[in-house]
């Protein structure tokens, strides 16, 4: 299942096909249990079986900054793939929060040009939630604002 999620991530669109993503698969229980002490919104990690840290590899970037969008698209694909496999997952943002970025870089010993973008805990859901209905016609504009 992890490989399926990573294949989905790497099928995401990528600006100029630079594929500026790299991933760290985290299974170590001690590491998973430690994450909430550095990320206040990642408490569910203590219940997760695995997590994926999505990183931007700025060595592969063309300097226009699209590595952030590449990683966001890859993260979304991981979430969708997890859902299709009957798993629960949560996008815990890391970048651009400086304190979180620094903490994740230190914990995972990331090289200078590798930026942690999103931390995604994954496991079997403890509860079933209905899909969010955020459709709002007031936010739709045709042709011009």
Q: Is the pLDDT of residue 40 over 90?
A: yes
Domains annotated for the chain, with CATH where assigned, are 2-125 (3.40.109.10)
Instruction: Look at residue 132 in the predicted model and tell me its pLDDT.
Output: 87
The DSSP 8-state label assigned to residue 135 in this structure reads -
The yes-or-no verdict on residue 130 having pLDDT over 90 is: no
- What 3-state class would DSSP assign to 53? strand
Average pLDDT over residues 82-100: 97
* Structure tokens that stand for 63 in this block: 């300097």
The pLDDT value recorded for residue 100 is 98
- Of 16-25, 27-36, 121-130, least confident by mean pLDDT is 121-130
DSSP 70-122: HHHHHHHHHHHHHHHTT-EE--EE-TT-HHHHHHHHHHTT--TTEEEEEEEEE
In the chain, what percentage of residues exceed pLDDT 90? 94
At residue 129, the pLDDT reads 82
Closest of 55, 50, 42 to residue 1, by C-alpha: 50
């Amino acid at each position: 299942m992890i490989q399926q999620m990573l294949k989905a991530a790497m099928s995401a669109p990528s600006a100029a096909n630079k594929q500026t993503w790299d991933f760290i698969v985290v299974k170590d229980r001690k590491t998973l249990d430690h994450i909430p002490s550095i990320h206040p919104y990642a408490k569910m990690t203590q219940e997760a079986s695995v997590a994926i840290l999505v990183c931007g590899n700025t060595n592969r970037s063309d300097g226009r900054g699209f590595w952030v969008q590449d990683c966001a698209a890859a993260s979304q694909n991981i979430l969708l793939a997890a859902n299709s496999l009957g798993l629960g997952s949560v996008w815990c943002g890391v970048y651009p929060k400086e304190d979180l970025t620094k903490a994740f870089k230190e914990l995972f010993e990331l090289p200078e040009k590798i930026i942690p973008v999103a931390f995604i805990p994954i496991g079997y859901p403890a509860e079933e939630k209905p899909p969010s209905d955020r459709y709002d016609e007031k936010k739709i504009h045709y042709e011009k604002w």
